[in-house]
Amino acid sequence: MTVDHYENFPVASWLLPARLRPPIEAIYAFARGADDIADEGSAPDAERLAGLARYEAALDAIERGAHPEAAFARLAAAVREYRLPLALLRDLLDAFRQDVTCKRYQDYAGLLNYCRRSANPVGRLLLHLFGMTDAQSLRESDDVCTALQLANFWQDVELDWAKGRVYIPGEDLARFGVAEEDIAARRAEENWRALMAFECERTRSLFEAGAPLGRRLPGRVGLEIRATVAGGRRILDRIDAARGDVFRRRPILKPWDWVGILVRSI
């Protein structure tokens, strides 16, 4: 399980204290590896679910105090040393199993429930490492992680469509008069632009709600959170600048974007 690409979750960047990079890498590797089983390649659903069952078995072994297979040794060490809640790791696996079997979301509440298990546990695990488990910090972390997950959905509409998935809630599609056929045809007409503007604005409000966490956390940890929030906001700005046409102008952050983000975060 290697940390080979970044998507939504904060990773052990140079901004973070060196002593915490190993457990953060272990958490991220677990999340990324399980997500890839559910999401990447062309394996049949049964094979994907069997792969996720292997991850569940590793958590069972850790919970019993036994040694899991070698691939999960780093995670086991992190759980033991920092007393990380295994329930959060199980939430991740539950969300990834849902990705295998659920391809549509009828309403926003259902999508938020998915984000609660697919993204928010990582932020909460990181806060456990820093001893920041008060209700306000956990709530703000959830807002940031959910916003990052949603921004990724709006950014990757076309990529998800190719995998047979639509994360835009069905109630929103209906409200703005957008059909799935419009996604298939890559139509970025006025109703689609209005839909994407609505989703981006709603996501931006979550970033706003969670942003105080980055101002309260000390030193490089706070800087990491501020930079993460700024990066997510920049993706939303790019979608707005493209008038929602993520089909022809998929928003990505370039190296120079991160330079500006870091300067403003400092």
Give the residue-averaged pLDDT of 128-155. Answer: 95
Give, in degrees to the nearest 5, the angle at Cα 162 between 233 and 194: 45
Q: What is the mean pLDDT of the chain?
A: 90
Are residues 253 and 159 both part of a single domain? yes
The domain that holds 168 is classified in CATH as: 1.10.600.10
At position 136, the amino acid (one-letter code) is: Q
**Can you tell me whether residue 166 is helix, strand or coil?**
strand
Same domain assignment for residues 107 and 93: no
How many other β-carbons are positioned within 10 Å of the β-carbon of residue 258?
15
Which structure tokens are listed for 133?
């488990």
* Confidence label for 8 from pLDDT (cuts 50, 70 and 90): very low
Q: Could you tell me if 95 and 108 lie in one domain?
A: no
Per-residue model confidence (pLDDT) at position 41: 86
- Tell me the residue range of the domain where 154 lies: 103-266
Q: Are residues 209 and 117 located together in one domain of the fold?
A: yes
| 162-193 per-position pLDDT tens digit | 999 999 999 999 999 999 999 999 999 999 99
pLDDT in tens, 226-257: 888 999 999 999 999 999 999 998 888 777 77
Measure the CA–CA gap between 15 and 17, rounded to whole angstroms: 7
* pLDDT tens for each residue of 24-57: 999 999 999 999 999 888 899 999 999 999 999 9
Model confidence over 193-229: pLDDT tens digits? Answer: 999 999 999 999 999 999 999 888 877 778 888 888 9
Q: Give bridge partners of residue 166 from the DSSP assignment.
A: 104
**Boundary residue ending a domain (77, 101, 125):** 101
Neighbours of 45 (CB within 10 A): 11
pLDDT for the residue 14: 55
* Rg, Å, the chain Cα set: 19
* For range 64-91, the mean pLDDT: 96
Instruction: Give residue 253's pLDDT.
Output: 78
Separation of first and last alpha carbons in the chain: 32
Q: Does residue 6 register a pLDDT over 70?
A: no
| Predicted TM-score of the model (pTM) | 0.89
* CA separation for the pair 245, 234 (Å, rounded): 16
What total number of domains does the chain contain? 2
Domain-ending residue, one of 85, 101, 117: 101
Residue 145 shares a structural domain with residue 198: yes
Query: Same structural domain for residues 147 and 264?
Result: yes
**Predicted local distance difference test score (pLDDT) of residue 257:** 74
The confidence score (pLDDT) of residue 1 equals 32
Please indicate, yes or no, if residue 8 is contained in any of the structural domains: no
> pLDDT tens digits, residue range 118-137?
999 999 999 999 888 999 99
Q: What single-letter DSSP state applies at residue 71?
A: G
Q: Could you say which of 71, 101, 131 is where a domain stops?
A: 101
Query: What pLDDT score was predicted for residue 266?
Result: 67
Let me know: does 6 contact 24? Beta carbons within 8 Å: no
Q: Distance between CA atoms of 54 and 178, rounded to whole angstroms?
A: 39
Averaged pLDDT for residues 51-77: 96
Kindly state the DSSP code that residue 83 receives in the 8-state scheme: T
